[in-house]
Structure 1
Amino acid sequence: MSEIARRLQALGLQLPPSIKPPPGVVLPFSFVRIIGSRAHVSGHSAQNADGTVAGPLGKLGRDLTVEQGYHAARLTALSILGSLQRALGDLDRVQAWGRVFGMVNSAAGFHSQPAVINGFSDLILALYGPERGAHARSAVGMAELPFNIAVEIEAEVELAV
């Protein structure tokens, strides 16, 4: 069992299966695109255990609390890790987290996007440690996100060759 798989297990966490979009939705792109020693990860949302889009749905600062957004960002990290696992075969191949772009479905006047996206960053740092898990990051508010999801996150990681 890989180091990251052991850490996930120790935290009682499981990776979700491939994303199942809502009925009638076609997603004509790769969730992970490997180019050389980098993996570009498309925007992901929180997932349920069956791969469907997970709630809570809605806008932070109107429908949802910062804590609910934090939880959605943590589930989004698991979604991204699941896609990386399927693409790479082993999450230990991630040598470094380079860049994370966190988008938060924000009501007017909501300014706590960084606290929401910390749900993602905290889990990545817990799994990969302060060196491999360190990443540059943006946490921005969006007027709308697909399917009314609370959080969407994309990333770029450096791979061990």
Structure 2
Amino acid sequence: MARIESKLQSLGLVLPPPVAVPPGVSLPFPWVRLSGERAFISGHGPQNSDGTLSAPLGKVGRELTIEQGYQAARLTALGMLASLQRAIGDLDRVTAWVRVFGMVNAAPGFHRMPAVINGFSDLIIQLYGPEIGAHARSAVGLAELPFDIPVEIEAEVEFSG
């Protein structure tokens, strides 16, 4: 078994199937766009193990606590890893997590976006270690996110050919 898959299994984590978008929604873009040895990963939200959007939905700082936002960001990492695995085959091919852009559906006055997006970063670094997993990152608050998801995260990685 591949190293990253083995780590996921040891943590009791499962990669979800492709996201089940709500009825009537069309997404005219790929979840992962490969260019040379780079993968540009479209914005992902938190998913359940069956691919559906994960609850709770809403704004962090109002409907969700920081801890719930952190968990949503962690689930987002799993969905992103699943998309990346479908695109490149083996997650062990990733040689660097280059950049992460985290967006938080933030209630007015909420300013702890980095603490929420840490749910994503902490898992990636736990799986890949600091050499491959450390990444440049932004964590911003937005007034709204699609489908009222609490977080949306996009990333760029390098992988071996």
TM range (shorter): over 0.9
CA-based RMSD of the aligned residues comes to: 0.5
Deviation per residue, 1:90-114 (Å, 9 max, x gap): 0001110000000000011000000
TM-score by length of 2: 0.99
| Separation (CA, whole Å) in 1 of partners of 2:118 and 2:147 | 22
Query: Which residue does the alignment assign to 1:113?
Result: 113
- Over residues 83-142 of structure 1, what are the superposed CA-to-partner deviations in whole Å (9 max), with x where a residue is unaligned? 001111100011100000000000110000000000000000000001000100000000
Shift of 1:49: 1.5
Structure 1 match to 2:66: 66
Normalized against structure 1, the TM-score is what? Answer: 0.99
Q: Structure 2 stretches of 5 or more lacking a match?
A: none
Equivalent position of 2:43 in the other structure: 43
User: Over residues 6-38 of structure 1, what are the superposed CA-to-partner deviations in whole Å (9 max), with x where a residue is unaligned?
Assistant: 000110100000111001101110000000010
Q: Which residue of 2 aligns with 1:86?
A: 86
- Counterpart of 1:106, as a letter, is A
Give the Å deviation of 1:75: 0.1
How far apart, in 2, do the equivalents of 1:56 and 1:63 lie?
Answer: 8
Q: Secondary structure of 2:147's match?
A: helix
Show CA shifts across 1:50-107 (max 9, x none): 1111111000111110000000000000000000011111000111000000000001
Secondary structure, aligned partner of 2:98: strand
* Runs of 4+ with >6 A deviation: none
Whole-angstrom CA distance in 1 between matches of 2:93 and 2:45: 23
Partner SS state of residue 27, structure 1: coil
The residue aligned with 1:3 is 3
Indicate the residue corresponding to 1:96 in structure 2. 96
Counterpart code for 1:40: F
Paired residue total: 161
Distance 1:32 1:152 in 2: 15
Residues 46-55 or 150-159, more deviating: 46-55
Give 2:85's aligned amino acid: Q
For residue 45 of structure 1, report the CA deviation from its aligned partner.
Answer: 0.4
Paired with 1:56 and 1:38, the residues of 2 have a C-alpha distance of 33
